[in-house]
């Protein structure tokens, strides 16, 4: 069968175009370091890479959540430590004041110190999260000050009312895993997170107990101080220690999660690189082969076309 010069020319052009496209793709891989620049280059690798990138994006989101929770947990812990100092001092004053050898002047001085402790505790109760500007101990109602203080004409605190709720925000730190570091200021529901200052399950009622202690000091009621106030402060102390311990355990969990997230993120980076990155040695070899084939096709085509022209002249 005789092959026309027209058919040969078309075949040569198609071959050269294919080799040109092949060189172009390989040159892109060498310059970019990527196996593909479009889904059509390698659909399977593209899908795998996109899936891995989606996983990396989710991991980055979880890592951000963990960092936010750790910062908030640290802020809460600092307040808890300050409250523990107040609680410890109140217990010490109750022990001192119950001593019958103490004068009423001594108890009045103690009452003055308790007044300062109450106001300091109220200030701590309305601490804001420096990062968000939200109140730490208002539950999910964190946009307004959770505690309202009532004072008499002598600037003595007569009551502290809770305006927040007993719910807490939970944030996702992994797929389907949520954590909360929040502590509601009060919880009278009997379920959920323990209230920091007031909790119906433990019997804690820090502000009421401090105010009652202050009143007993001013009235010289040493019986109530010894029999009631001391016991109440122990209840408040236990509730506070529970929250401190829980905060520490949560921070440990978050630090572990942060380490895992960091390692997982690095693994995903490696997997993405392997899925999308070109094998440079193999790619350069293939590029050289494509260039050689292109040059060979040009030379062969040129010779065949010259022979065809010579035969035509003869």
Query: Do 186 and 260 reside in the same domain of the chain?
Result: yes
- Residue 48 within a domain: no
The single residue listed with the structure tokens 């939970």 is 170
- Residue 159 within a domain: yes
Instruction: Please state, in angstroms and rounded to a whole number, the distance separating the CA atoms of residues 137 and 248.
Output: 17
Query: Do 85 and 22 reside in the same domain of the chain?
Result: no
Tokens of 40: 């059509």
pLDDT, residue 285, reads: 45
Whether 66 and 259 have beta carbons less than 8 Å apart is answered as: no
Mapped onto helix, strand or coil, the DSSP state of residue 98 is coil
Instruction: Please state, in angstroms and rounded to a whole number, the distance separating the CA atoms of residues 247 and 76.
Output: 8
Query: Do 74 and 29 reside in the same domain of the chain?
Result: no
Query: Do 246 and 226 reside in the same domain of the chain?
Result: yes
Can you name the residues that pair with 160 across neighbouring β-strands? 149
Mean pLDDT across 2-19: 58
Query: Do 24 and 120 reside in the same domain of the chain?
Result: no
Rounded to a whole number, what is the largest CA-CA distance in the chain? Answer: 138
Tokens of 205: 């009622």
- Residue 103 within a domain: yes
For 107-147, how does the pLDDT look when each residue is reduced to its tens digit (9 = 90+)?
Answer: 999 999 999 999 999 999 999 998 889 999 999 999 999 99
Whether 93 and 147 have beta carbons less than 8 Å apart is answered as: no
pTM of the model: 0.75
Query: Do 228 and 300 reside in the same domain of the chain?
Result: no
Instruction: Please state, in angstroms and rounded to a whole number, the distance separating the CA atoms of residues 85 and 121.
Output: 10
Tokens of 314: 């003869």
Which residue range forms the structural domain that includes residue 208? 53-269
Query: Do 308 and 164 reside in the same domain of the chain?
Result: no
For 172-214, how does the pLDDT look when each residue is reduced to its tens digit (9 = 90+)?
Answer: 999 999 999 999 999 999 999 999 999 999 999 999 999 999 9
Sheet holding 204-205, edge to edge: 186-187, 198-199, 204-205
Query: Do 308 and 265 reside in the same domain of the chain?
Result: no
Tokens of 290: 């494509």
Tokens of 59: 């991991």
Query: Do 130 and 225 reside in the same domain of the chain?
Result: yes
Query: Do 66 and 29 reside in the same domain of the chain?
Result: no
Query: Do 79 and 228 reside in the same domain of the chain?
Result: yes
- Residue 303 within a domain: yes
């Amino acid at each position: 069968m005789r092959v026309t010069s027209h058919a040969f020319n078309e075949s040569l052009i198609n071959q050269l175009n294919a080799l040109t496209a092949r060189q172009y793709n390989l040159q892109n891989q060498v310059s970019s370091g990527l196996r593909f620049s479009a889904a059509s280059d390698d659909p399977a690798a593209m899908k795998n890479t996109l899936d891995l990138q989606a996983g990396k994006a989710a991991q980055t989101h979880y890592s951000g959540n963990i960092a936010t929770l750790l910062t908030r947990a640290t802020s809460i812990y600092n307040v808890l430590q300050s409250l523990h100092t107040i609680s410890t001092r109140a217990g010490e004053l109750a022990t001192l004041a119950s001593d019958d050898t103490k004068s009423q002047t001594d108890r009045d001085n103690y009452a003055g110190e308790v007044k300062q402790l109450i106001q300091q505790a109220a200030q701590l109760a309305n601490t804001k999260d420096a990062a968000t500007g939200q109140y730490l101990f208002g539950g999910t109602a964190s946009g307004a000050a959770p505690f309202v203080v009532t004072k008499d004409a002598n600037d003595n605190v007569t009551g502290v009312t809770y305006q927040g709720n007993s719910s807490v925000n939970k944030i996702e730190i992994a797929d389907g895993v949520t954590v909360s570091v929040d502590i509601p200021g009060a919880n009278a529901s009997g379920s959920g997170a323990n209230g920091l200052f007031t909790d119906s399950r433990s019997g804690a009622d820090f502000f009421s107990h401090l105010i009652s202690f202050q009143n007993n000091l001013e009235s010289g009621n040493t019986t109530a101080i010894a029999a009631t106030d001391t016991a109440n402060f122990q209840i408040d102390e236990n509730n506070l220690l529970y929250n401190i311990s829980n905060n520490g355990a949560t921070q440990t969990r978050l630090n572990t999660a942060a380490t895992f997230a960091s390692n997982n993120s690095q693994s995903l980076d490696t997997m993405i690189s392997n899925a999308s990155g070109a094998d440079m040695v193999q790619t350069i070899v293939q590029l050289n082969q494509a260039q050689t084939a292109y040059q060979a096709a040009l030379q062969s085509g040129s010779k065949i076309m010259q022979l065809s022209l010579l035969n035509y002249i003869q």
